[in-house]
Structure 1
Amino acid sequence: MYAILDIETTGGKYNEEGITEIAIYQFDGHRVTDQFISLVNPEREIQPFVVNLTGINSKMLKNAPKFYEVAKRIVEITEDCILVAHNSSFDYRILKTEFKRLGFPFKRKSLCTVELSQQLIPNMESYSLGKLTRALGIPLSDRHRANGDAMATVKLFKMLLNKDLDKIIVKDAIKVEQKSKIAPNLNSIIEKLPSDTGVYYIYNVDGDIIYIGKSKNIRKRIIQHFTGTNSKSKKIQKLVSTVTYERTGSELAALLKESAEIKANKPIFNRSLKRTIFTHALYSFTDKNGYINLKIDKSDSQEQSITTFNTKASGRQFLFKAVDEFNLCQKLTGLYDTRTSCFKHEVKECQGACINKESAELYNKRVNALIEKYNYVNKDMVIIDKGRDIHEKCAFLIENGTFKGFGFFDLNHQINNKAILKSLITPMENNRDTKHIIQSYLRRNKRLKLIELN
């Protein structure tokens, strides 16, 4: 038996959100056997962007039941059921948080239709509920309202069950809160952590931060710290008193925040990360014949680099790929040491810049295309990445080649309006490390959305 649900919340700080609306459909795999739909008075302020998104405002909820008044019904309709939701980690976390406020431990097995869809219906353009159901021809009314979204999830889940004839994938995807062999004091810390991307802070009993890290799965990473057998893990296990975290959704945001927080707090177990995180860089110079040459060299703060690398090997690997992508000369990129033509010219894959056969003007256009792609000097642009939940995005603002900070938004008009965008951004320091982190991330993630600002 399944309990397919959708929850609308107030928005706001992580684990401080309140439920504004909930819809649950009990489903036996063939048909709906019971249902519960209700507005909920969250007893807290609703964020303005949430009001715009859902249409639910405080006035509507004034006479709605409070969570403790509907809690019994939620327990009854979900008992002995597997919770199913689109991005189930969010809905399940919200329910657990609300029950925890009542002093009631709420535990259920869960299934995520986002993850199931990615397995059973691969290569879709988007797995957001709205775009996915539209692409599959599933009707969706009252988008961003609990009842409409829950009913669409019922229809989507029914389709997924039909696709998974042997129910092997569905069974494998069921998430169970397993008992841990970790020490009870450490286990109680883990229970409070999310399986989300973000930055985490490990404190000792005196309230000092002893380690800062980032992970695409905070809970899983802390479990690794608490079960590790190396010297650092054992010291952390002995000294840890509590762990806090900040969800970022975006791995880039987590990397930037981790770097900034380590510099600011200097935790005792982050010593290896206090050093500069890159050793080599890509530089350009123009030779006596007017050709732009590229070279990988040790990083020098006095020189303007195109992009930076953790090692010389990773820099050379990047250059080999760039030579193919932009049809460049191996000799003029320092990859083929010769006084005559490069190897690629011998096999007719280089147009002859190495022996002055191709004009410098034509060759330099392609080199400049590479520089333009991998360097944001003097650029005004916004990098768009994942947000903390399915409805949200993270924006990174770069003005005149300077990283200004990042923030979260829900509506596209917020990033198209520069004044609104700046108000959403949390300022961060621009330094060589942040530049390296951003450039490395852009190289690794080709599908990131980049918006150039006027």
Structure 2
Amino acid sequence: MYAILDIETTGGQYNEEGITEIAIYKYDGHEVVDQFISLVNPEKPIQPFVVKLTGINNAMLRSAPKFYEVAKRIIEITEGCIIVAHNAQFDYRVLRTEFNRLGYNYERQSLCTVELSQKLLPEQKSHSLGKLVRALGIPMSDRHRATGDAMATVHLFKLLLSKDTTKEIVKSLIKTDQKKGIPPKLFDILEGIPAVTGLYYIYKENGDLIYIGKSRNIKKRLHQHFTATSGKSKRIQRDTYAVKYEETGSELIALLKECQEIKVNKPVYNRAQKKTVFPWSVYVEKNSDGYLCLSLQKTDGRKKEVVSFSSVTDGKNALHRIVEQYNLCKKINGLESPSKPSCFGLELNTCNGACVGNEPAEEYNKRVQEFVDNNSFYNQSMIIIDRGRTVDERSAVLIEKGEYKGYAFYNLNYQITKPDILKNILIPMDNNRDAKNIIKSYIRKKKALKIVRL
């Protein structure tokens, strides 16, 4: 028995996605014998690019059931079934993550129709669902919606089953969850690590530092390293002899120290982070009509960026949010085709008409400058107050004339409001582009953060 499913999500960081729609068709090898289809309230906002892709928006989900309300039905309809999906690794992982949040260990065998089609239809140029079903003449409606994609997967799976006459290929691709145990050596190391915010340092037996990481829960993060099955994780598990940690309390300080110490120590398993952490940035440029434009470009050290991002997707999503927040024009900021006479927002009355010259550049540019002033600290001085390592302690990060100077911890009995006082206890740190972008990103995400402007 098979449970053929498709899941739509909010998008976002790995393992932080929320389910917005799920469709499951129970298939006995001949016909669909049961089905479950539902929108799901993910209790978190949907990324703008996902709204554009699926048509599912936040308003549609306000009255939808939350995941815990549909969890029992999902368990029942998939009981005794092999989970089948196109890119099953993604759908099954998201489903398991949602159940883990409820404290339930959801385990099923899984089968991926991407892998199955690669084995049985090697002549196909593409094995994406959309191109595959078009090439095979499989009817498809509601692309990028759970119902349409799941039903297309049903038809595809039926065809693939008919091609695998002996069912040997299908059987060979069925994956079963392996129980993830921790070797005694690593279990003993983990026992001595607290569940606190800070940095951790992993060493080989000869004393070589092989990995530096940060986490809001060091113990949990190390547990993930010690149980993951990726090639990198297995090498870390093999080489780990000792782990040291440093509690920071503040996630911002942990991020800044991690960035600097990776650059200095160059641990072998942090290779990917030796390059710039934020390769994409938003820059401000004035167009020929005098309007200030925000553009997402590859980070250029010769120019002054406003905000930076770790991926192009994060940058595009943020640019959509910035345009909406400051009531800017999508066409002027490169989010809509320049060949169109006006932006779509003008038709919806969400754009004041800068794209067709109806709004004076001076008025429009004031809002762009407001965004720049709120998100760039070139030549600004400030103290960022954050959590400390104990309840009666706070941390402080000093920015002076746009340069990151370092951090300090202080007791709540003292008030740190002037740079001169802070400098007496400051731990100096390197001022570089990555550090400044980490700080700007943190300020942008933590709306309740206390900032003392100097």
Q: Counterpart in 1 of 2:345? A: 344
Give 1:245 deviation, angstroms: 0.6
Give 1:428 deviation, angstroms: 0.7
Contact 1:255 1:437 in 2 (8 A): yes
Q: Count the aligned residue pairs.
A: 275
Letter in 2 for 1:252: L
Contact 1:414 1:421 in 2 (8 A): no
Give 1:438 deviation, angstroms: 1.3
Q: Please report the TM-score for the alignment, with normalisation by the length of structure 2.
A: 0.58
Task: Provide the C-alpha distance between the structure 1 equivalents of 2:415 and 2:354, rounded to a whole number of angstroms.
Answer: 46
Q: Counterpart in 1 of 2:300? A: 300
Kindly provide the CA deviation profile for residues 41-89 of structure 1, in whole angstroms up to 9, marking residues without a partner as x: xxxxxxxxxxxxxxxxxxxxxxxxxxxxxxxxxxxxxxxxxxxxxxxxx
Give 1:362 deviation, angstroms: 1.2
Among all aligned residue pairs of Structure 1 and Structure 2, give the percentage whose two residues are the same amino acid.
Answer: 47
Give 1:327 deviation, angstroms: 0.9
Q: Counterpart in 2 of 1:446? A: 447
Kindly provide the CA deviation profile for residues 138-174 of structure 1, in whole angstroms up to 9, marking residues without a partner as x: xxxxxxxxxxxxxxxxxxxxxxxxxxxxxxxxxx9xx
Q: Please report the TM-score for the alignment, with normalisation by the length of structure 1.
A: 0.58
Q: How does 1:336-415 map to 2 (within 5 A)?
A: 336-339=336-339, 340-411=341-412, 413-415=414-416
Kindly provide the CA deviation profile for residues 393-439 of structure 1, in whole angstroms up to 9, marking residues without a partner as x: 11111011111111112236441132221122211111111122112
Task: Provide the C-alpha distance between the structure 2 equivalents of 1:351 and 1:447, rounded to a whole number of angstroms.
Answer: 30
Q: In terms of mean alpha carbon deviation, does 251-260 or 311-320 score higher?
A: 311-320
Q: Counterpart in 1 of 2:332? A: 332
Q: How does 1:39-188 map to 2 (within 5 A)?
A: 182-188=182-188
Root mean square deviation, CA, Å: 1.7
Q: How does 1:197-236 map to 2 (within 5 A)?
A: 197-236=197-236
Q: Counterpart in 1 of 2:309? A: 309
Q: How does 1:32-43 map to 2 (within 5 A)?
A: none
Letter in 2 for 1:338: P
Gap runs ≥5 in structure 2: 1-102, 104-179
Q: Counterpart in 2 of 1:5? A: none
Task: Provide the C-alpha distance between the structure 1 equivalents of 2:351 and 2:235, rounded to a whole number of angstroms.
Answer: 55
Give 1:443 deviation, angstroms: 1.9
The secondary structure found in structure 1 opposite 2:281 is strand
Letter in 2 for 1:442: I
Q: Counterpart in 2 of 1:260? A: 260
Give 1:181 deviation, angstroms: 5.4
Kindly provide the CA deviation profile for residues 286-337 of structure 1, in whole angstroms up to 9, marking residues without a partner as x: 1232211111111111111111111222112111111111111112211122
Q: Counterpart in 2 of 1:322? A: 322
Give 1:193 deviation, angstroms: 1.0
Q: How does 1:247-286 map to 2 (within 5 A)?
A: 247-286=247-286
The secondary structure found in structure 1 opposite 2:352 is coil
The secondary structure found in structure 1 opposite 2:424 is helix
Q: Counterpart in 2 of 1:429? A: 430
Contact 1:329 1:342 in 2 (8 A): yes
Task: Provide the C-alpha distance between the structure 2 equivalents of 1:313 and 1:366, rounded to a whole number of angstroms.
Answer: 24
Q: In terms of mean alpha carbon deviation, does 335-344 or 384-393 score higher?
A: 335-344
Task: Provide the C-alpha distance between the structure 2 equivalents of 1:301 and 1:412, rounded to a whole number of angstroms.
Answer: 41
Contact 1:414 1:420 in 2 (8 A): no
Letter in 2 for 1:228: A
Q: In terms of mean alpha carbon deviation, does 183-192 or 242-251 score higher?
A: 183-192
Q: In terms of mean alpha carbon deviation, does 289-298 or 244-253 score higher?
A: 289-298
The secondary structure found in structure 1 opposite 2:332 is helix
